[in-house]
């Protein structure tokens, strides 16, 4: 609690983790500043513990790294300008509330990487200017609610191996791609979110769009298969493909759509 940990190493082999816990229970990590380490905070086999009010930035790998650590909570932390943001892997029942994931930028960077986790919650977080806001692989029965995604390369990268997750009341602003996936069958629920790219209408003025919104565009599907195609972004050809796909969807997943898109952004200050 109330520590400042700083390192000036330039390579992962030169430095260890700022805070490293292995096989621990009922631990509290609060109000620390961790900068310049390999992983800012590292958990392995750690249960029933709390990470709160910390600032983890400019670490060479992850700001926070979870492995096999169940029933934990991290809340009100800032993870800024790390090599790859935060990774939560091989874990269940993790609560991720009120955190900021900002400027985790690079060829293989994430704001939040979730791999093989289940029965967790990602609520009221801010994802700002990350290469990928959230990357999901093998994620099940997890709630993503009241999060802000702004100016990310990909807001959400949802692999087909993830299922039974719910995305609701999230705001999507100025992301290059709001949602991308590598499959045609997506078994998740995406309803009641605000999308700044939505161009539908609300004739009965109930605040809900009358036409579903499809957050995956055809160019995102192409880039998933041919990454170098991203060089064509904002070209006239991409604009034509996108417009054609909106009129007659043939390549984007049929069941990946928001049936009740919000016409106005959600107010994060009222999130509970």
**Residue 224 in 3-state DSSP?**
helix
What is the dihedral sign for C-alpha 229, 230, 231, 236?
A: positive
Output the average pLDDT for the chain: 87
Q: Among 7-21, 83-97, 219-233, which stretch is predicted with the lowest mean pLDDT?
A: 219-233
Query: Does 229 score more than 80 pLDDT?
Result: no
Each residue's pLDDT tens digit, 197-212: 998 888 988 999 999 9
- Predicted local distance difference test score (pLDDT) of residue 272: 46
Helix axes 218-225, 236-247, angle to 10 degrees: 120
What is the dihedral sign for C-alpha 226, 232, 234, 235?
A: negative
φ, ψ of residue 227 to 5 degrees: the values are -55, -35
Each residue's pLDDT tens digit, 148-178: 999 998 999 998 899 999 999 999 999 988 9
**Is the Cβ–Cβ distance between 21 and 46 less than 8 Å?**
yes
Each residue's pLDDT tens digit, 122-141: 999 999 999 999 999 999 99
φ, ψ of residue 41 to 5 degrees: the values are -130, 130
Query: Does 112 score more than 90 pLDDT?
Result: yes
- From residue 90, how far is each of 65, 119, 120, 245 by CA, in Å? 11, 12, 12, 37
pLDDT range class, residue 186, cuts 50, 70, 90? confident
pLDDT range class, residue 16, cuts 50, 70, 90? confident
Tokens of 153: 């390369």
* Across 261-270, average pLDDT: 84
Query: Does 52 score more than 70 pLDDT?
Result: yes
* Across 181-203, average pLDDT: 87
- Predicted local distance difference test score (pLDDT) of residue 7: 84
Cβ neighbours around 28 below 10 Å, total: 10
- Is-above-0.75 flag for pTM? yes
* Across 167-190, average pLDDT: 88
* Across 244-260, average pLDDT: 68
Q: Among 52-61, 164-173, 174-183, 248-257, which stretch is predicted with the lowest mean pLDDT?
A: 248-257
- From residue 259, how far is each of 92, 188, 262 by CA, in Å? 29, 13, 10
Query: Does 248 score more than 60 pLDDT?
Result: no
Sequence-separated contacts (24+) of 12-17 with Cβ below 8 Å: 12/38, 12/60, 12/61, 15/60, 17/41, 17/42, 17/65
**Residue 252 in 3-state DSSP?**
coil
* Across 175-183, average pLDDT: 86
Report the distance separating Cα 139 and Cα 90, nearest Å.
Answer: 10
Query: Does 103 score more than 70 pLDDT?
Result: yes
CA 212 to chain centroid: 22
Domain ranges (residues) in the chain: 20-264
* Across 229-233, average pLDDT: 60
């Amino acid at each position: 609690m109330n520590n400042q940990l700083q390192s000036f190493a330039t390579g992962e082999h030169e430095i260890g983790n700022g805070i490293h816990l292995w096989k621990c229970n009922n631990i509290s990590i609060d109000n620390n500043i961790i900068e310049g380490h390999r992983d800012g905070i590292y958990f392995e086999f750690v249960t029933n513990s709390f990470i709160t009010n910390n600032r983890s930035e400019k670490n060479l790998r992850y700001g926070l790294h979870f492995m096999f650590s169940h029933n934990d909570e991290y809340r009100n932390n800032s993870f800024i300008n790390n090599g790859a943001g935060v990774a939560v892997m091989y874990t269940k029942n993790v609560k991720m509330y009120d955190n900021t994931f900002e400027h985790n930028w690079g060829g293989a960077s994430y704001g939040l990487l979730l791999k093989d986790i289940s029965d967790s919650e990602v609520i009221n977080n801010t994802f700002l200017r990350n290469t990928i806001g959230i990357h999901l692989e093998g994620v099940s029965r997890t709630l993503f609610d009241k999060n802000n995604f702004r100016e990310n390369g990909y807001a959400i990268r949802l692999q087909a191996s993830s299922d039974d997750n719910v995305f609701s009341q999230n705001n999507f602003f100025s992301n290059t791609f709001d949602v991308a996936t590598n499959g045609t069958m997506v078994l998740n629920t995406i309803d009641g979110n605000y999308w700044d790219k939505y161009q539908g209408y609300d004739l009965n003025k109930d605040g809900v769009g009358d036409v579903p919104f499809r957050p995956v565009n055809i160019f995102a599907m192409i880039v998933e298969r041919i990454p170098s195609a991203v060089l064509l972004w904002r070209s006239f050809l991409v604009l034509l493909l996108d417009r054609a796909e909106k009129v007659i969807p043939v390549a984007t997943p049929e069941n990946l759509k928001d049936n009740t898109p919000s016409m106005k952004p959600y107010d994060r200050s009222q999130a509970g």
